[in-house]
Chain A
């Protein structure tokens, strides 16, 4: 039983990491007032590109960078539509989603189910001197470690720096920010790109760390779950860590229980993500503070001459 528990706790961070990366990326988007529904597409582009590059023999680091580049390209297309052309953000996001899924399937055609080396935790334990449970939690691959540091960095930049203050101003009240001399379009586009990088790394995490292969449709709705997790974590990257860990914990429990030979109903597997969402909503609801955390200008394109 203790072994099951240790194995479960140790597997949580790797489960949580892709959700955390994508959620942190989307928080940057939404705090600047841009609703980005294209995360699933960006993740797929990064997942396929990084596998293709590694298959071509370019090494994992370059593969990851190319994946980020591909995701960034799609994020830029979305950003140009949503920020500069002021297309309805929901529509622009859905376009980016469909484009990413379609192009990734096209690029990966003929390269499905082919194994790459990818990224794995270091062999043996670096933390063998610690208690087994703690060592299990700390023995992660470097991309999973990065996810947690990235989320903390996102929180710090948004909440504790001038850059973050301006970003939040753009998301809360774009005309006021503009009047104060903040370049709204530039900040929003920058937020889309920065968020795109994190969503792309989330996608690369799925293919390089998670599966070590590419399969069409392998993101399997994880980008959409990240969109929901932004709301659940109330646009706060630190709360996103808690949300991702809770979500990862429930997701990680299922394979452990299944392989332990316990009688877990198959329907429990289907139910578990929603159960996690429900649990988090409950917790979030119980501890919610008065004000609504949603950025006031979320989803509203900004045009200086427009009457509001």
Chain B
């Protein structure tokens, strides 16, 4: 898996390059600007970030933004430079593909603060946070396990990169926990958004026996097909309940504002330090699940109990033993992977059916 290795290597290099003692960046008067991959109203990835932008605007005044910025270094740098030339001093972007451009800009402007949601690059003044989406997906997997009758689930995802692989793996582990023997069919769409293809994959999964369809994509297209076929579904990024009111179990949702509001407040106070590429868990509220529906109340209570344990820090999704598809032990019993190991995930767990190569 070349992409995974490359991402891992890049990450390792960046972590190694980051100075041990990180300087603090003080921004007495934050002038924030946002760079979006999609449109601010795309109903998914960028909209979840726009919610955070609006929260910041309430606290710090108008927050300008630019939409539809492609994952090309020169285009991203143009957008960043434009904001900086207008006095922007806190630049917040939101895509994995912006990582190089943000690193270059952070180096060129050491006195300004940069945050790139879902990026993989870091510097003393650049942080790339990501939610522990696997916590939400584990809970969603538990719900899917309770709901399924055929013991077959379907999940579609963008690309087989580590932070996507942990979504499918945690979903499968959650389903395994509540309904042993459940398998998850996996399909990589090879795009972050291709609703026509997503609907077609959803249809095919249902035809082959899946009765819960989960999407790791931006659009609810897969859920619409499941709803029409009378099947259950799980949404992502925002609460997708409106697209599948009769079949949705929950959605794994982002609340970026819970990370960004404290970060900008710390910048203002002069206490902000880049954490590198930190993961924000369900205890911070940056990731969570939408209200659980369409499963019995005692099942909901059991899922909520696990959620509480996650918040208290006494439940680790990745507690061993975890075996991959070939039966190889990836996480031995009694241990759990480090964050670095998570960022290098390159396997599918044993109850996932399908290939990532």
Taken together as a complex, chains A and B put the C-alpha atoms of A7 and B203 apart, in Å, by: 9
Cβ distance B245 to chain A, nearest Cβ, rounded Å: 10
In the docked arrangement, what's the CA distance between A3 and B205, Å? 12
**Interface size counted on chain B using CB atoms at 8 A:** 46
Shortest CB distance B330–A (Å): 18
Q: B244 — nearest CB in chain A belongs to which residue? A: A115
* Bound-state Cα–Cα, A120 to B38, Å: 28
Chain A residues 1 to 25 lying within 8 A of chain B, measured CB to CB, are 3-4, 7, 11, 15
**Looking across the interface, which residue of chain B has its beta carbon closest to that of A115?**
B243
9-residue interface stretch from A177-185, A254-262, A290-298 = A254-262
Closest to B223 in A: A115
B132 within 8 A of A: no
A120 contact set on B, CB distance < 8 A: 228
Q: Which chain B positions have C-beta within 8 A of A265?
A: 355, 357
Contact in complex: A259, B190 (CB < 8 Å): no
Q: Are B190 and A269 interface neighbours, CB within 8 A? A: yes
Give complex CA distance A16, B119 in Å.
Answer: 38
B124 CB to closest chain A CB, in angstroms? 36
Q: A255-B197, A258-B354, A266-B357 are in contact. Are A213 and B39 (CB under 8 A)?
A: no
Q: Are A255 and B41 in contact (CB under 8 A)?
A: no
Say yes or no for B22: interface residue by CB 8 A criterion: no
A7 touches B41 (CB 8 A): no
Q: Across the interface, which residues of A come within 8 angstroms of B32, CB to CB?
A: none
| Chain B residues within 8 Å of A105, by CB | 39, 68
Shortest distance between the CB of A274 and any CB in chain B (Å): 14
* A139 is an interface residue with CB less than 8 A from chain B: no
| Contact across chains for B200 and A210 when beta carbons are under 8 A apart | yes
Q: Within the assembled complex, what's the spacing in Å between the Cα atoms of A266 and B355?
A: 8
Q: Given A11-B204, A256-B204, A206 and B38 touching (CB < 8 A)? A: no
Q: How many angstroms between the C-alpha atoms of A215 and B353 in the bound complex?
A: 29
Among listed B106-114, B141-149, B214-222, B311-319, interface-contacting one: B214-222
Do B242 and A115 have beta carbons less than 8 Å apart? yes
Closest to A260 in B: B208
Check: B340 CB closer than 8 A to any chain A CB.
Answer: no
B345 is an interface residue with CB less than 8 A from chain A: no
**Total A-B residue pairs with C-beta atoms closer than 8 Å?**
133
Nearest A-chain residue to B207, judged by Cβ: A7
Kindly state whether residue B199 has any CB partner on chain A within 8 Å. Answer: yes
Q: How far is B205's CA from A260's CA once the two chains are assembled, in angstroms? A: 7
Closest chain A CB from B137 CB (angstroms): 19
Given A258-B187, A258-B354, A261-B354; A212-B207 close (CB under 8 Å): no
A252 within 8 A of B: yes
Measured between beta carbons, the chain B residues less than 8 angstroms from A213 are 195, 219-221, 224, 243
Whether A259 touches B205, Cβ cut-off 8 Å, given contacts A120-B228, A211-B198, A264-B355, is yes
A102 CA / B287 CA spacing, docked (Å): 34
Q: Does B8 contact A (CB under 8 A)?
A: no
In B44-90, the 8 Å CB interface with A consists of 44, 68
A220 to B195, CA, bound (A): 10
Given contacts A210-B195, A261-B183, contact A216 B200 (CB under 8 A): no
Q: Which residues of A contact B201 (CB under 8 A)?
A: 255, 258-259
A261 to B186, CA, bound (A): 7
The residues of A that contact B199 with a CB separation of less than 8 Å are: 210-212
User: Which chain B residues border A220 with CB–CB below 8 Å?
Assistant: 191, 194, 196
B356 within 8 A of A: yes
**Residue pair B195, A211 in contact (C-beta under 8 Å):** yes
A111 to B185, CA, bound (A): 31
Least CB separation from B222: chain A residue = A211
Near B by CB (< 8 A), chain A positions 258-305 give: 258-267, 269-270
Query: A114's closest neighbor in chain B, by CB?
Result: B43
Chain B hits for A206, CB < 8 A: 196
Q: How far is the CA of A15 from the CA of B355 in the complex (A)?
A: 23
A263 near B354 with CB under 8 A, answer yes
Contact A215 B188 (CB under 8 A): no
Q: Are A110 and B41 in contact (CB under 8 A)?
A: yes
**A113 CB within 8 Å of chain B:** yes
- CB contact list, B143-182 vs A, under 8 A: 154, 159-160
Report how far A212 CA is from B219 CA in the complex, Å. 10
Question: Is the Cβ of A112 less than 8 Å from the Cβ of B41?
Answer: yes
Q: Which residues of B contact A262 (CB under 8 A)?
A: 354-355
Task: Give the chain A neighbours of B200 by CB distance below 8 A.
Answer: 11, 15, 210, 252, 255
Chain B contacts of A261 at CB under 8 A? 183, 185, 353-354
Residue among A256, A258, A266 with the most chain B CB within 10 A?
A258
30 chain-A/chain-B pairs, Cβ below 8 angstroms: A3-B207, A4-B208, A105-B68, A112-B38, A113-B218, A113-B220, A113-B243, A114-B243, A115-B242, A213-B224, A213-B243, A215-B42, A216-B68, A218-B195, A218-B196, A220-B191, A220-B194, A220-B196, A255-B201, A259-B201, A261-B185, A261-B353, A262-B355, A263-B357, A264-B354, A264-B355, A265-B355, A266-B160, A266-B356, A269-B188
List 5 other contacts, CB 8 Å, given A113-B42, A258-B204, A261-B183: A7-B204, A109-B39, A215-B218, A218-B195, A266-B188
Residues of chain A whose beta carbon lies under 8 Å from any beta carbon of chain B: 3-4, 7, 11, 15, 105, 109-115, 120, 206, 210-213, 215-218, 220, 252, 255-256, 258-267, 269-270
